[in-house]
Structure 1
Amino acid sequence: MGLSVIALSLAALPFVAAGGPFLQQTSNNTWIIGNDLWNITQGSIYGIKLYYQGKDAIGKAAGHYVGADGENNLVWESASIVNEGNDFIDVSFVSEKGDLHWVIYDDLAGSYQYFVNRALGDISILRSLFRLDPDRFPNGRTYLKDEPLPSFQSILDGTKVQDETFETSDGTYITKYDWSNYVRDRDFNGVYGPSTGSWYIHPSTDYFSGNHLKQTLTVHRESSTGDAVQLNVVQDTSHFQTQVTTTQPSGKIWGPWLWYLNDGSITDAKQKFQEELAKWPYSWVNDTAYHSRGAVSGTLKLSDGRVAAGAAVFLGDSDIQAPLAQGVNYYYTSYADASGRFSFSNVRTGQYGLYAWSNGGKIGDVYTNYTKSGINVKGNTKLSTLTWSVPSNERVFQIGDFDKKTTGFIESGPYHHGLAAQSPANFTYTVGKSNTSDWYYASSNLGTWNVEFDVATLEKSSARLIVSLAGYSQSTALTISSNGAVLGSLSKDNVTTDAATYRSGTVSGEWHQFVYPVSNLKQGKNVISFTVNRYVLWRGFLWDAIALEWA
């Protein structure tokens, strides 16, 4: 294929018979890209007039654009073909902040995309998205939800109660946050109708920020216009965690991912996802660092002799921010198998830190984390057996598994707005009679939750209470006491806040753990109390696990 850029006045054409992938410049700041199956007109900010199946898939909607930190949309100053093969071209749209690439194949309905940083600086969010014709794309699909998007009229008729959240006349809520999910559990997200589907497929998630618990938005109904929104948030250290910014290195690549068009078939999109998994890493990427990859493997054992079966294992940055907040480099997630063995393949070469924590199950009693720095990935890196230090103190009681999630509690998932407000004000959990499934996922309303337990023999003079939170949204406050004596309090003054609880997050936000010495246990009946003494609607504490052990 000969590399060429054709300058024409074709902005009004619904389709350009190009004989393959093409870039056409129609004015100083307008271009048309596509192939024989589709084409889109790209302006300085918005991509509009997306012709597929003979008609415009965007219509009166906003179209395609890229933004960093809110609506700080990138402005495209030029476009050119920067790479090509026998059956594809790589078109780069250049802005002051970075370059968006469209890799267009002869016979592919859609395009591979990737973004190369130029000067984003400190950011918390980077995203691309399509806002499409709502009549043509009435439904949304993620691995958690597949249903019609809420109607625009229902949003207009509702009452706005907070950020992108509307209460309807029957007391239910409409919010884009109900469509969120965990980025490393995804297969494909998109919007679709009876004849057309538009999908984002990520065969790798190594360019996403954070660890296993990273979650962000996917699809929704735009509340101000009714557009069908297909989101591609590839960097997010904000929506469901304590907001941080990370400094992005020049040349960093997010992607490639596949934007894929079809006839609306979910079965076909699923098959395409599997095909892309087999192709990754993509051979056509013209970047040496992208292709420089290795592997990491090892085995985790606990200091008490057990294997770390099922542990969550994260390969990230060394000696800096907590895993969920990391967002500078590239990140890899896995789980240990039944023998504690873990592995990562196709890891970009470089220096990493290794992190591990309980994901529940056989090691659900483990509340410590494992950390190892200075792992140099170059070729096949085989780590020796790693010993994870865990306390061996006798446990008095435990409620829930230590997995940094609300797993096992009432209303733990899926995403649903307002459930924190339904938490019981007063509640008694009796050790030996109550079950984990009796505990509510969040504490929000004013009142006291008591944990009653019997101590047959005072094993030691003191114990320690481990309180592990899966998230916290201010300004609800909690006082913790043992047999009436205050052990401590948790509030916005000593717990960093995240937005998960009031943004439909019922499983996790930002993880926190606190340890309190307990010296007033007595033989017979004892009570540990958790009293909410300050209340804010939909805010509160997400529970991970609670344990009392002899010190």
Structure 2
Amino acid sequence: MDEDRIYTRRYALHVRDSPTSMDGVHPLTAGPSIDTTLVGAVPTKSHATSPFLSQVDNQTWIIGNELWNLTQGPKYGVQLFYKDHDCVGDAVGHYVSYNGAASDLGWTSASIVKQGSYRGADYIDVAFTAVEGEMHWVIFSGLAGAYQYFVNHALPVLGEFRTLWRLDNTTFPRGKTNLKDEALPPLSDYIAQNKVQDETWLRPDGSGYITKYDLTDWIRTQTYYGVYGDGFGSWYINPGKDYYNGNHLKQELMVHRESATGDAVQLNMIHGTHFMVSSSDVFPDGKMWGPWLWYLNDGSKEDAAKKSKKEFASWPYKWFEDEAYQSRGSVTGQLVLSDGRPAANAAVFLGDNNPNKTALDMGSDYYYTSYADARGRFEFEDVRTAHYGLQAWSNGSKIADVTTSFLHNDVVVTKSRNTNLGSLKWNVSKKTKIFQVGDFDRTSYGFQYGGAPNQHALIASCPNNLVYRVGYSKTSDWCFGQTYLGNWTISFDLPDTPKNAAARNATLIVSLAGYSSGASSIILANGEQIGNLTSGVPRLLNDPSLYRSMTSAGEWRYFEFEFNAGNVLKGGANDVTFQMTRNTTWHGFMWDSVVLEW
């Protein structure tokens, strides 16, 4: 346990017994003033009539309102009192850190930077200052919880940046995301000799695995998530998602059991890398994450869902008086494929202008996701004013055959105006398609086990050898991932040997929904090598999706392998084979689509 945290907890426990402040006034009955710095006891009950900040010493503060209060030390927020109950107990509490647990932010000061009233409720904005930036708590009277946001000033180049709660495991025994709602595993089930890899254990009865990665969700579609039990719930509600890194397919860990201590963990991965190759971003001074709502209740999921709907309807928050935050416009347009079809249901993304990263890897600024309708029309509302690059790609369905992506730079968003891009032409391949296995949508959906509930080692259920017969096999006959040594073959027929020059110029397109290193494959057409997929040279970099419970996507990769079909293919039966030549347990290839065209 961190030395600063030990000091904070011991000090908090000591001053908790003191009934009055140094001037004889209890901080929670000191009157309605909300900008006075008070020195006194750590409150165990909430009697204040207004939000408050109370200073105990130069390393300890108390924040809260009439419903809850938290003792904040130099790093950790401890003794969270709600309904006369300490929700942190012996757990670590609340903190902010980057690059995993390598760097916890240390708070040097706290102050009320703004106070006001909105719709009859008083509020204060409390800023805790660290070298890297400011963590803000916006506390309203009558609200169980607080809005939070972080403003960067000197964060280093990093991959992971997060805020989180580590809470009492008896008060919060369950975890919920949009995808899962279940009891957190008992700490007694984490047996050292059963550990198989990072944060993954074989269950004591051998029935499966315990891993924190099962409780992962898509960040762009999550509505509310958290930990809860009988009488208490702690939830994150993030209605605005423009401060997140990544695109539609960004997934993040959200809740889990801390395996070393048993704490119930509620993660707010506002810049994450859990299922990516990497994400090292430079942040401009003033980059803001949030505001989001941290919400306390009696453990009711129905109440949390109702609160979530209200917050989503209220975003962007009108009470948040920040000029850059409030300066927003909209973008509309229509995507039409070069073959005349509308780009129905395409995934559409507003990201970096003139990008040098993939959409999933972007994270320095602000990002927006949407989907086109059946006519290819799209709309982005409440977009921060800036210059953007618009991207689009197939999301399956009616354009599942489209292998190309779309990019349109220099999209200018101005305050309170709509930028209408009109009709945008999206060029698609003019080549003749010989076969396609799987929809082009950057996911494993449609394949066997593709999109199954997150679970460790599911790829081990896929076979060593597989034959897919074009025109006879179903998409679900192809498994979502390949991990074992062996041959996966696509068998197809041609009416004749390709003779003209255009037909001889064949391209095999391989689209991977994810790849976990330690696996290599050579690609054969009728026994002749036409390409390879390898973690050697050329190097295919690792994303942890397959060995961290993901079944739908990791980081998307796209490859084209050109070859002379006239020399390789023939009339009648042909085959393309992915021959796994090197493997590692639970690592390998997660498939999106395989296409042959000329």
TM-score scaled to structure 2, two decimals? 0.90
Match of 2:429 in 1: 391
Contact 2:279 2:363 in 1 (8 A): no
Match of 1:26 in 2: 56
Aligned-partner Cα distance in 2 for 1:156–1:109: 37
Match of 1:79 in 2: 110
Match of 1:533 in 2: 581
2:454 to 390, 408, 415: 415
1:458 positional shift: 3.9
1:161 equivalent to 2:161? Answer: no
In structure 2, give the amino acid aligned to 1:444.
Answer: T
Contact 2:351 2:368 in 1 (8 A): yes
Partner SS state of residue 124, structure 2: strand
Aligned-partner Cα distance in 1 for 2:534–2:462: 18
Match of 1:130 in 2: 165
In structure 2, give the amino acid aligned to 1:389.
Answer: N
In structure 2, give the amino acid aligned to 1:182.
Answer: W
Aligned-partner Cα distance in 1 for 2:205–2:534: 33
Match of 2:281 in 1: 246
1:2 positional shift: 4.8
1:516 positional shift: 1.5
1:53 positional shift: 1.0
Aligned-partner Cα distance in 1 for 2:513–2:70: 43
1:162 positional shift: 1.1
Contact 1:469 1:542 in 2 (8 A): yes
1:463 equivalent to 2:506? Answer: yes
1:476 positional shift: 0.4
In structure 1, give the amino acid aligned to 2:92.
Answer: A
Contact 1:476 1:536 in 2 (8 A): yes
1:15 positional shift: 2.2
1:7 to 19, 24, 38: 38
Aligned-partner Cα distance in 1 for 2:579–2:482: 9
Q: How does 1:300-339 map to 2 (within 5 A)?
A: 300-319=335-354, 320-339=356-375
1:352-373 CA-partner distances (Å, limit 9, x unpaired): 0000000000000001100111
- Which runs of 5 or more residues in structure 1 are unaligned? none
Aligned-partner Cα distance in 1 for 2:252–2:381: 25
After superposing the two structures, state which structure 1 stretch, 336-345 or 501-510, moved more: 501-510
Aligned-partner Cα distance in 1 for 2:33–2:194: 57
1:400 equivalent to 2:438? Answer: yes
2:74 to 21, 41, 44: 44
Partner SS state of residue 327, structure 1: coil
1:397 positional shift: 1.0
Match of 1:118 in 2: 153
Partner SS state of residue 547, structure 2: coil
Aligned-partner Cα distance in 2 for 1:157–1:515: 45
Partner SS state of residue 550, structure 2: coil
Aligned-partner Cα distance in 2 for 1:412–1:385: 34
1:517 positional shift: 2.1
Aligned-partner Cα distance in 1 for 2:278–2:509: 26
Aligned-partner Cα distance in 1 for 2:270–2:323: 22
1:430 positional shift: 0.8
1:276-330 CA-partner distances (Å, limit 9, x unpaired): 0111111222321000000000000000110000000000001221110000000
Q: How does 1:87-126 map to 2 (within 5 A)?
A: 87-126=122-161
After superposing the two structures, state which structure 1 stretch, 378-387 or 458-467, moved more: 458-467
1:174 equivalent to 2:210? Answer: yes
Q: How does 1:281-296 map to 2 (within 5 A)?
A: 281-296=316-331
1:479/1:501 CA distance change after superposition, 3 Å = same
1:441 positional shift: 0.4
1:220-246 CA-partner distances (Å, limit 9, x unpaired): 00000001111100001x211111310
1:20 positional shift: 1.3
In structure 2, give the amino acid aligned to 1:480.
Answer: I
Aligned-partner Cα distance in 2 for 1:18–1:8: 15
In structure 1, give the amino acid aligned to 2:551.
Answer: T
1:401-440 CA-partner distances (Å, limit 9, x unpaired): 1111101011112211111222210111111110101110
Contact 2:189 2:204 in 1 (8 A): no
Match of 2:19 in 1: none
After superposing the two structures, state which structure 1 stretch, 13-22 or 354-363, moved more: 13-22
Q: Percent identical across equivalent pairs?
A: 50
Match of 2:489 in 1: 450
Aligned-partner Cα distance in 1 for 2:461–2:581: 16
Contact 2:161 2:269 in 1 (8 A): yes
In structure 2, give the amino acid aligned to 1:546.
Answer: V
In structure 1, give the amino acid aligned to 2:439.
Answer: D
Partner SS state of residue 360, structure 2: helix
Contact 1:297 1:383 in 2 (8 A): yes
Match of 1:62 in 2: 92
Q: Which runs of 4+ in 1 moved over 4 A?
A: none
Aligned-partner Cα distance in 1 for 2:506–2:191: 55
Aligned-partner Cα distance in 2 for 1:229–1:530: 41
Match of 2:408 in 1: 372
In structure 2, give the amino acid aligned to 1:174.
Answer: I
Contact 2:279 2:362 in 1 (8 A): no
Aligned-partner Cα distance in 2 for 1:468–1:157: 38
The total of aligned residue pairs comes to 548
Query: Alignment RMSD, CA only?
Result: 1.2
Partner SS state of residue 207, structure 1: coil
Contact 2:34 2:51 in 1 (8 A): no
Aligned-partner Cα distance in 2 for 1:161–1:360: 36
After superposing the two structures, state which structure 1 stretch, 280-289 or 99-108, moved more: 280-289
